């Protein structure tokens, strides 16, 4: 439990770092809260004084009662106004802090290494940024609104009660630790339950996101019942841990209410005895107080105990919000990808030469993938990469694009600097933005965002004219189907292309590259979802696009790689054969077997 407490303290410090930027608003909130509490405590004193103005029948000080009532009405109005202003300020602080946290979380997502994205479900990350932050906002707002005013009310009532009857105040103080002990004990032991609830909620969000994204695949394999059963299992787990967390945390309120009732009864009993001057035969034990004093003390007893109930509710909510905050800060504090060096080169004019020297890489140190790979790619050459599934083709592309850094060796690119000199530099010493801007990528898995066709095409070149966009669409053979859409280039498509076919989505991805005309190309089975007739047309467009450009082609179809200048045959992370199509067939090696099978991506035992 001590470890969890330390985690919570660290989380609270991080929260205060965000709040620190709104010190003036926080000070105004505290001032308004103090004013509201002071006036709220002043009102019972006025009522008690008004009651004492009524001593015997016919002996009533009407003028004094009227003055007290006027002061009371003014006090109530100012207290209500202060409370309203405090709530406005608290809302402003809370949602500004939430805005800042979400901004930092999204900024961190933008610079997280690809390894994090590959190893964490998308739904879980979304749950942290959306659901967990919302839960945290509820707890933070409740803490601002009730915790501070509750503490002030408790301290204020004790001071006012002490001025009226020290003995009654002592009795109240003696009983108070019971309530605090019960609330602290339960809250301390529910933190782990709220952490489990937040984790299970994230798992459910990730599962739902995965199920919606893969709905067509689930339907194709008639796996709806299986997925429903898996969802039910997670749902039952979430219900179970939620009920446990809420049940145990809910014990705080009735426990503190019992102690509070005990406090009220004690004040009423001792106060009544003090009014009548009862000594119980033991001498003068209870000092005399007036009926008005007793009324004030009973009102203070209610005001004194009420914050304990409110704070117990706040503590429950705070435990939940702290659990959510820990998950949010865990995301924000994730290690970002290694930043570019301060003196990194900005590659303005790449020559197209790429050199891999003794490159080794593995996702898991215990399972080597690429080992001691060396490759020299000359400018303007078309390099096809073939081999069985899992041999390292896509990994090699990830390394060239520096989505992952090599474990050993180096990858160098040549470019001309501002002085006109040709530089051959390790890509780790080149800014990622300028290095990746040199490439145009078309992958087998397309990516389209919610928006218009126009917005999706212009992602790589936002300043392109309509004429340039249409010319690129015609070159990619997408113009004809775009023109048939309800609003042409202004047709809004859903996430990941909405109702567009896979082939149409791939054509849009090709259009983006055609528009940018990058100096280097990476094509990972770029025409896999396109019909044969359209593919033949696009291949001719690609042939023109690749002329004079260094091109890496991850290919599965024989027709795609036959015209490449060099074919790299990969197996188990190593290039085992290299040459032209004819040269490799003449060797009658691994490539020849792949070619005979008719599919470059088939797994063939040697």
Q: What is the model's pLDDT at position 81? A: 94
Query: Helices 148-164 & 291-332, crossing angle to 10 degrees?
Result: 160
DSSP annotation string for 327-370: HHHHHHTSPPPPPPPTT-B--SEEEEEEEEEEEEE-SBTTB--E
Residue 526 has pLDDT above 70, yes or no: no
State whether 156 and 294 are in the same domain: yes
Residue 291 has pLDDT above 80, yes or no: no
Q: What is the model's pLDDT at position 527? A: 67
Q: What is the model's pLDDT at position 184? A: 67
Sheet of 439-442: strand order equals 439-442, 520-524, 550-554, 382-386, 566-571, 574-579
343-347, 507-511, 545-549, range with the lowest pLDDT: 545-549
Q: What is the model's pLDDT at position 270? A: 76
Listed in sequence order, the DSSP H helices in 214-347 are 215-220, 224-250, 252-276, 291-332
Q: Is the dihedral of CA 523, 525, 526, 527 positive or negative?
A: positive
Nearest CA to 393 out of 543, 549, 524, 239 is that of 524
Q: What is the model's pLDDT at position 167? A: 75
State whether 318 and 454 are in the same domain: no
Write out the E strands in 519-562.
Answer: 520-524, 550-554
State whether 256 and 139 are in the same domain: yes
Instruction: Specify whether the CB–CB gap between 2 and 188 falls below 8 A.
Output: no
Q: What is the model's pLDDT at position 135? A: 81
Give the phi and the psi of residue 476 in degrees, each rounded to 5.
Answer: -90, 0
Torsion of CA 209, 214, 219, 224, to 10 degrees: -30
Q: What is the model's pLDDT at position 365? A: 78
Give a yes or no: residue 10 inside a domain: yes
Residue 446 has pLDDT above 50, yes or no: yes
**Which pLDDT tens digit goes with each residue over 101-151?**
999 999 888 888 888 887 887 778 888 888 888 888 877 777 767 777 888
Q: Of the residues 332, 354, 372, which one is the last residue of a structural domain?
A: 332
Residue 448: CATH number of its domain: 3.40.50.300
Give the phi and the psi of residue 275 in degrees, each rounded to 5.
Answer: -65, -40
Q: Which two tokens stand for residue 373?
A: 């790979």
Distance CA 167, CA 171 (A): 6
Distances 350 to 152, 346, 420, 442 between C-alpha atoms, Å: 67, 10, 12, 20
Which residues neighbour 214 within 8 Å (Cβ) at sequence distance 6 or greater? none
Q: Is the dihedral of CA 446, 448, 453, 454 positive or negative?
A: negative
Q: Of the residues 314, 332, 350, which one is the last residue of a structural domain?
A: 332
Nearest CA to 276 out of 266, 265, 287, 267 is that of 287
Which domain covers residue 104, as residue numbers?
Answer: 2-332
Give a yes or no: residue 225 inside a domain: yes
Give a yes or no: residue 14 inside a domain: yes
Q: Classify residue 417 as exposed, middle or buried by CB count within 10 Å of its CB (0-12, 13-18, 19+).
A: middle
Q: Classify residue 180 as exposed, middle or buried by CB count within 10 Å of its CB (0-12, 13-18, 19+).
A: middle
Torsion of CA 279, 281, 282, 286, to 10 degrees: 0
Instruction: Specify whether the CB–CB gap between 139 and 187 falls below 8 A.
Output: no
Nearest CA to 602 out of 560, 555, 535 is that of 555
Number of structural domains (the chain) is 2
Q: What is the model's pLDDT at position 411? A: 92
**Which pLDDT tens digit goes with each residue over 527-582?**
666 667 767 767 776 777 777 888 888 876 666 677 788 888 888 777 888 888 88
Mean per-residue pLDDT, 401-430: 85
Q: What is the model's pLDDT at position 95? A: 86
Instruction: Specify whether the CB–CB gap between 326 and 136 falls below 8 A.
Output: no
Q: Of the residues 332, 355, 385, which one is the last residue of a structural domain?
A: 332
Give a yes or no: residue 78 inside a domain: yes
Instruction: Specify whether the CB–CB gap between 139 and 322 falls below 8 A.
Output: yes
Give a yes or no: residue 145 inside a domain: yes
Distance CA 554, CA 36 (A): 70
Residue 1 has pLDDT above 70, yes or no: no
Q: Which two tokens stand for residue 524?
A: 């990972």
60-74, 268-282, 360-374, 401-415, range with the lowest pLDDT: 268-282
Give a yes or no: residue 368 inside a domain: no
Nearest CA to 599 out of 357, 591, 265 is that of 591
Residue 297: CATH number of its domain: 1.20.1560.10
Give the phi and the psi of residue 363 in degrees, each rounded to 5.
Answer: -75, -35
State whether 39 and 168 are in the same domain: yes
Where is mean pLDDT largest: 220-224, 374-378, 571-575? 374-378
Q: What is the model's pLDDT at position 312? A: 63
Q: Classify residue 458 as exposed, middle or buried by CB count within 10 Å of its CB (0-12, 13-18, 19+).
A: buried
Residue 373 has pLDDT above 60, yes or no: yes
Residue 153 has pLDDT above 60, yes or no: yes
Give a yes or no: residue 278 inside a domain: yes
State whether 207 and 58 are in the same domain: yes
Instruction: Specify whether the CB–CB gap between 487 and 449 falls below 8 A.
Output: no
Strand partners, 439: 520
Q: What is the model's pLDDT at position 216? A: 65
**Which pLDDT tens digit goes with each residue over 324-343?**
888 888 889 888 888 888 88
State whether 451 and 321 are in the same domain: no
Mean per-residue pLDDT, 36-43: 86
Give the phi and the psi of residue 373 in degrees, each rounded to 5.
Answer: -90, 125
Give a yes or no: residue 527 inside a domain: no
Does the pTM of the predicted model rise above 0.75? no
Q: What is the model's pLDDT at position 78? A: 93
State whether 328 and 454 are in the same domain: no
Q: How many CB atoms lie within 10 A of CB 126?
A: 16
**Which pLDDT tens digit goes with each residue over 251-262?**
766 777 777 777
State whether 301 and 447 are in the same domain: no
SS3 376: strand
Percent of the chain surpassing pLDDT 70: 86
Mean per-residue pLDDT, 167-171: 77
């Amino acid at each position: 439990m001590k470890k969890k407490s330390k985690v919570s303290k660290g989380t609270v410090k991080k929260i205060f770092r965000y709040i620190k930027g709104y010190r003036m608003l926080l000070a105004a909130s505290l001032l308004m809260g103090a004013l509201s509490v002071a006036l709220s405590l002043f009102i019972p004193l006025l009522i008690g004084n008004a009651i004492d103005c009524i001593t015997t029948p016919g002996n009533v000080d009407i003028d004094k009662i009227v003055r007290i009532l006027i002061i009371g009405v003014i006090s109530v109005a100012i207290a209500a106004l202060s409370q309203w202003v405090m709530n406005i300020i608290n809302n402003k602080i809370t949602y500004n802090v939430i805005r800042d946290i979400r901004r930092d979380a999204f900024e961190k997502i933008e610079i997280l290494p690809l390894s994090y994205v590959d190893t964490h479900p998308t739904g879980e990350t979304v749950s942290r940024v959306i659901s967990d932050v919302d839960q945290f906002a509820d707890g933070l707002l409740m803490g601002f609104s009730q915790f501070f005013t509750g503490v002030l009310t408790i301290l204020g009532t004790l001071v006012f009660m002490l001025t009226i009857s020290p003995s009654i105040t002592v009795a109240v103080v003696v009983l108070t630790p019971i309530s605090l002990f019960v609330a602290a004990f339960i809250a301390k032991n529910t933190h782990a339950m709220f952490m489990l609830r937040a984790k299970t909620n994230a798992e459910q969000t990730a599962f739902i996101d995965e199920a919606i994204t893969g709905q067509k695949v689930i339907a194709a394999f008639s796996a709806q019942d299986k997925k429903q059963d898996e969802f039910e299992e997670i749902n039952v787990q979430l219900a179970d841990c939620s009920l446990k967390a809420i049940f145990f945390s809910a014990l705080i309120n009735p426990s503190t209410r019992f102690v509070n009732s005990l406090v009220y009864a004690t004040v009423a009993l001792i106060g009544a005895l003090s009014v009548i001057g009862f000594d119980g035969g033991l001498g003068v034990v209870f000092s005399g107080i007036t009926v008005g004093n007793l009324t004030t003390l009973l009102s203070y007893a209610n005001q004194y105990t009420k914050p304990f109930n409110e704070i117990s509710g706040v503590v429950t909510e705070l435990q939940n919000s702290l659990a959510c905050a820990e998950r949010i800060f865990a995301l924000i504090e994730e290690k970002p990808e290694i930043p570019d060096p301060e003196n990194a080169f900005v590659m303005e004019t790449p020559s197209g030469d790429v050199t891999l020297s003794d490159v080794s890489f593995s996702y898991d140190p215990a399972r080597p993938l690429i080992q001691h790979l060396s490759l020299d790619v000359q400018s303007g050459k078309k390099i096809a990469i073939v081999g069985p599934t899992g041999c390292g083709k896509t990994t090699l592309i990830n390394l060239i694009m520096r989505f992952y850094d090599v474990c050993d060796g180096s990858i160098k690119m040549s470019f001309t600097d501002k002085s006109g000199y040709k530089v051959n530099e390790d890509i780790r010493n080149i800014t990622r933005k300028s290095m990746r801007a040199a490439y145009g990528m078309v992958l087998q898995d397309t990516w389209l965002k919610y928006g218009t066709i126009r917005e999706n095409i212009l992602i790589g070149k936002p300043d392109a004219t309509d004429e340039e966009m249409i010319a690129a669409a015609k070159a990619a053979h997408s113009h004809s189907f775009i023109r048939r859409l309800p609003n042409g280039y202004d047709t809004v498509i859903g996430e990941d292309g909405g109702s567009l076919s896979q082939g149409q989505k791939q054509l849009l991805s090709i259009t983006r590259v055609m528009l940018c005309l990058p100096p280097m190309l990476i094509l990972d089975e770029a025409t896999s979802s396109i019909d044969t007739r359209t593919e033949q047309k696009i291949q001719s467009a690609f042939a023109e696009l690749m002329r004079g450009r260094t091109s890496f082609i991850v290919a599965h179809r024989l027709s795609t790689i036959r015209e490449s200048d060099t074919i790299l045959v990969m197996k188990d992370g190593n290039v085992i054969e290299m040459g032209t199509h004819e040269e490799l067939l003449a060797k009658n090696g691994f490539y020849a077997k792949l070619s005979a099978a008719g599919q470059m991506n088939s797994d063939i035992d040697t």
